[in-house]
Amino acid sequence: MSFYTQIKLFALVLGALLVLTAEPASATKRVALVIGNSTYQNAPLLPNPANDAAAIAATLKAAGFDVVDSRLNLSATDMKRALRDFADQVRDADIALVYYAGHGIEIDGANYLIPTDARLERDTDIYDEAFSLDRVLLAIEPARQLRVVIVDACRNNPFADTMKRTVASRSISRGLARVEPTVSNTLIAFAAKAGLTALDGNSKNSPYAAALVKYIAKPGLDLRRVFGFVRDDVLQATGNRQEPYVYGSLGGEDVALVPSAKAEEPTPAAANPQSEVRRDYELALQLNNKAALGVFLSQHPDGYYASLAKLQLNQIEAEDARIAATEKARQAEQQRVRLASEGAQRTDQEKAAADLKAAENARIAAETTKQVAQQQATDAERKRAASEASIIAALTPRSATENSLAAGSPPAAESVQNDTNAKIAALNDGPHQVDPARADIPQADLARSVQSELSRVGCFTGAVDGEWNAASQRSLALFNRQAGTKFDTKLASLDALDAIKLRPSRICPMICDHGYRADGDQCSKITCAEGSFLNDDNECEKRRGKKPVASRSTDERPTRADRPAREKLAPAAEAPVPRRQATAKGSSGQIYCDRLLCRQVNRGCHIESRGGNGGADGNAGNVEVCN
């Protein structure tokens, strides 16, 4: 063999080695078919599907998909050709994805994708003019690792209203029907839950497509978490009116459409790739103001924790709106009372009453919005805590650090392991009354916050000092009785704090000591008028005067001479003096009575009537005459 031939052979071998080493370690072939039907010939225009399909196709191309076949406004013939061509691409692919945006319909439990030239005058036309979702699943079945079908077709369908039923019992429902893939490692994602419709939104893209673009190409992000984040964003964007849903299941390993940028060996520090973001979020959450959350969102505008921060920011803004609405209602009430007291014109008083009613309605609406925002933020935090706890539990059994320790790692690795165990214990241990998402909040600060809120609703009158003593426990027990809750009074908890914050005003009755009465939000001393005293019932009672007592002392009895002249009886009014009866010897049988006594007329004497009013002796004009 000549030297030239040897050099040529060496060059060929070297080139082959360079090509082999240039091949990626994981040569996964990924193919995608993206369809957007907007211009329907026999139905109103759908503006968003074409935009949504273009955005999804651009995202997948930027993510490095080997094939991204993007088609718009396909007729029935074009859809047949597109599915046939894509099936050829899937045969040697590892991951196959189909995205469809447009009209879809469910008949008798089967889902169909509708081309742009469909008429669907009767229900049986669906078999000739539309494509069954099963046909799409059949096209992607040859993929070796993963099959994904995303159907953004849960809109209100105009064909369902005009379609003639050939069989009265045939059902045509809103939205799409639930479907269960028969092939493993297959996911079917709907823009809305089965039987419900999706919203197109007011922007260039639908809420569902916008969320997909945001998360689907995240490097290394597990596909299940992708659809979980999409669900959370759509629920928030639509006010909980639209909930995306995913059917099918995957195995225990992470499955990402886009692999991680660097395939490095896992280290203890990389156990939680979002640890820095989580720490920044929890710091902003502790500060709990708009400025802190705004700074966090400016540094981390996208992702899971950004969504949580937006919920917290919505809660704060809702509280500010509630306070403003409450103040406006108070001012409107003052204006109405002032006009009524000044005797203003009737029209002005009616206008003030209308303004008060509008302000009160706005206050009630703001209160409702605030409670909804607070509930959403609380639920999101609880889900975050549960999710992080499950991730830590999954990483704990046999992490890379434990493997290095088992192989005899240096002391530095042992310190890292101890630090990891401490963090795991901090998340999993401790009082369960405290939300694990904010377990690092000092207990004294939490107790102080609960005391402050209990004081606001009138259940706590002590000093807000952070000491959870017997008085604080009694106050929380009083709140439980008034609000119908069952919080543990032995410990200040975030659940209790959130429940107390939901109360807009006083809930516990004012309790004052003896001698004081409730006056608004404070106790005022009771002052009784002169001649009255405060009784045991905390009421003013009039003092009773002393009754005179009769005395039998003769020394105090007035003499006849000391009596006033008016007390002396007139002769005519004097009571008749009892007259003694005297018996005269030898009486004539007649009786003579004078002022002092009555006696028998002496023998030989008789009584003569002389008329008149009686003499000095008081006899009524009769005198005794003796011969």
* pLDDT tens digits for range 572-615: 444 555 555 555 555 566 777 776 677 777 777 877 776 655 45
pLDDT value at 619 more than 80: no
CA angle 55, 56, 59 (to 5 degrees): 85
With H, G, I as helix, E, B as strand and everything else as coil, classify residue 519: strand
Q: What is the pLDDT of residue 612?
A: 55
DSSP character at residue 122:
B
> pTM of the predicted model, to two decimals?
0.42
pLDDT value at 40 more than 80: yes
pLDDT value at 354 more than 80: yes
Tens digits of residue pLDDT in 190-231: 988 876 777 777 778 889 999 999 999 999 999 999 999 999
Tens digits of residue pLDDT in 525-547: 888 888 888 887 778 888 876 65
| Terminal Cα-to-Cα distance of the chain (whole angstroms) | 216
**Which range has highest mean pLDDT (17-21, 65-69, 280-284)?**
65-69
Q: Which two tokens stand for residue 290?
A: 């708009």
pLDDT value at 264 more than 70: no
Q: Which amino acid is at 31?
A: V
Q: What is the pLDDT of residue 611?
A: 61
In angstroms, the Cα distances linking 167 to 107, 131, 158, 170 are 12, 21, 19, 6
**CATH code at 30-249:** 3.40.50.1460
How deeply is 182 buried, as exposed, middle or buried, from its count of CB atoms within 10 A (0-12, 13-18, 19+)? exposed
| Band of pLDDT at residue 441, cut at 50, 70 and 90 | low
Tens digits of residue pLDDT in 108-142: 888 899 999 998 888 888 888 898 999 999 999 99
Q: What is the pLDDT of residue 276?
A: 77
532-534 and 540-542 strand pairing: antiparallel
Q: Which residue has the higher pLDDT, 521 or 295?
A: 295
| Band of pLDDT at residue 425, cut at 50, 70 and 90 | very low
Q: Which residue has the higher pLDDT, 166 or 452?
A: 452
- Within 8 A by CB and 6+ apart from 122, the residues are 163, 164, 165, 166
Q: If you average pLDDT over every residue of the chain, what do you get?
A: 77
User: How many angstroms separate the CA atoms of 173 and 123, rounded?
Assistant: 12
Q: What is the pLDDT of residue 193?
A: 80
Q: What is the pLDDT of residue 279?
A: 77
User: How many angstroms separate the CA atoms of 93 and 30, rounded?
Assistant: 6
| Poorest-pLDDT segment among 77-81, 161-165, 476-480 | 161-165
Q: What is the pLDDT of residue 39?
A: 93
| Cα 7 from chain centroid (whole Å) | 79
Number of C-beta neighbours around residue 319 at 10 A: 17
Residue 583 — left, alpha, or beta (φ > 0 → left; ψ -120 to 50 → alpha)? beta
| Band of pLDDT at residue 2, cut at 50, 70 and 90 | very low
Q: Which residue has the higher pLDDT, 337 or 17?
A: 337
Q: Where are the domains of the chain?
A: 30-249, 273-387, 442-528
Q: What is the pLDDT of residue 545?
A: 65
Alpha-helix runs per DSSP H in 271-395: 275-287, 290-299, 304-342, 346-395
pLDDT value at 405 more than 70: no
**Which range has highest mean pLDDT (13-17, 23-27, 311-315)?**
311-315
pLDDT value at 415 more than 80: no
Q: What's the whole-number mean pLDDT along residues 380-406?
A: 58
In angstroms, the Cα distances linking 400 to 89, 271, 397, 425 are 39, 9, 10, 18
pLDDT value at 407 more than 60: no
Q: What's the whole-number mean pLDDT along residues 426-430?
A: 38
Q: Which two tokens stand for residue 256?
A: 């990402």
| Cα 317 from chain centroid (whole Å) | 14
| Poorest-pLDDT segment among 59-68, 77-86, 380-389, 434-443 | 434-443
Q: Which two tokens stand for residue 520?
A: 């608004």
Q: Which residue has the higher pLDDT, 398 or 274?
A: 274
User: How many angstroms separate the CA atoms of 491 and 430, rounded?
Assistant: 12
pLDDT value at 431 more than 80: no
User: How many angstroms separate the CA atoms of 134 and 222, rounded?
Assistant: 25
Whether 403 and 362 have beta carbons less than 8 Å apart is answered as no
How deeply is 363 buried, as exposed, middle or buried, from its count of CB atoms within 10 A (0-12, 13-18, 19+)? buried
Nearest to 500 by CA among 486, 479, 520, 521: 479
| Poorest-pLDDT segment among 81-95, 151-165, 173-187, 377-391 | 377-391
Q: What is the pLDDT of residue 23?
A: 41
Q: What is the pLDDT of residue 427?
A: 37
| Band of pLDDT at residue 173, cut at 50, 70 and 90 | low
- Compute the chain's Rg from CA coordinates: 51
How deeply is 614 buried, as exposed, middle or buried, from its count of CB atoms within 10 A (0-12, 13-18, 19+)? middle
Q: What is the pLDDT of residue 394?
A: 55
| Band of pLDDT at residue 486, cut at 50, 70 and 90 | confident
In angstroms, the Cα distances linking 44 to 36, 103, 191, 319 are 15, 11, 20, 42
Q: What's the whole-number mean pLDDT along residues 231-252?
A: 88
DSSP character at residue 70:
E
Q: What's the whole-number mean pLDDT along residues 433-445?
A: 55
Q: Which two tokens stand for residue 413?
A: 């690795």
In angstroms, the Cα distances linking 535 to 451, 526, 529, 540 are 34, 11, 13, 6
